[in-house]
């Protein structure tokens, strides 16, 4: 892993929605473990919390604007219910994070599970199963490398 533009190793923000915390907490733990396995130090990983997935886009924009991080992993979980609430929250999180990703100069990893039921969400957060948290961290590491190599090409 190469150095951050601010010096030292890459800095990662784990932006975590507290709603459905039994799922988002496990996703956060798995992402952190994978980042540490990749050689990032604990000081390079910062966890920040928001109430729910709806809040992820505005928080990601604010955090990106601080210029403290090389990547943001936005972690949330929206489970379908009996009303249209799922569609509004999941759609807003997806569209909003997509707009933020296109606007800011750092990668925003979409780590929001959208499932039909709690069992599906739990299975995707299981570190011994699908382990989506580790997948989100892998995506972040790949995007950091891509952005760094693109920046190097620009300097040549």
From 6, 68, 85, 103, active-site residue: 85
Structure tokens at 34: 């994978």
**Contact criterion met (CB below 8 Å) for 134 and 34:** yes
Name, in order, each residue with C-beta under 8 angstroms of 110's C-beta and a sequence gap of 6 or more: 74, 94, 97, 98, 101
Whether 85 sits among the annotated catalytic residues: the reply is: yes
Q: Give the distance from CA 105 to its chain's centroid.
A: 15
Q: Is 97 strand, coil or helix?
A: helix
Catalytic residues: 85
């Amino acid at each position: 892993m190469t150095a951050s533009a601010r010096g030292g190793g890459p800095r990662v923000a784990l932006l975590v929605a507290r709603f459905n915390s039994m799922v988002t907490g496990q996703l956060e733990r798995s992402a952190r473990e994978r980042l540490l396995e990749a050689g990032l130090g604990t000081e390079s990983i910062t966890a920040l919390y928001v109430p729910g997935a709806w809040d992820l886009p505005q928080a990601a924009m604010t955090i990106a604007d601080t210029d403290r991080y090389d990547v943001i992993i936005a972690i949330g979980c929206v489970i379908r219910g009996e009303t249209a609430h799922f569609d509004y929250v999941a759609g807003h999180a997806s569209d909003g994070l997509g707009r933020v990703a296109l606007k800011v100069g750092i990668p925003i990893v979409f780590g929001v599970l959208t499932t039909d039921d709690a069992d599906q969400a739990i299975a995707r957060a299981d570190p011994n199963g699908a382990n989506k948290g580790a997948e989100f961290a892998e995506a972040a590491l790949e995007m950091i490398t891509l952005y760094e190599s693109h920046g190097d090409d620009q300097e040549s």
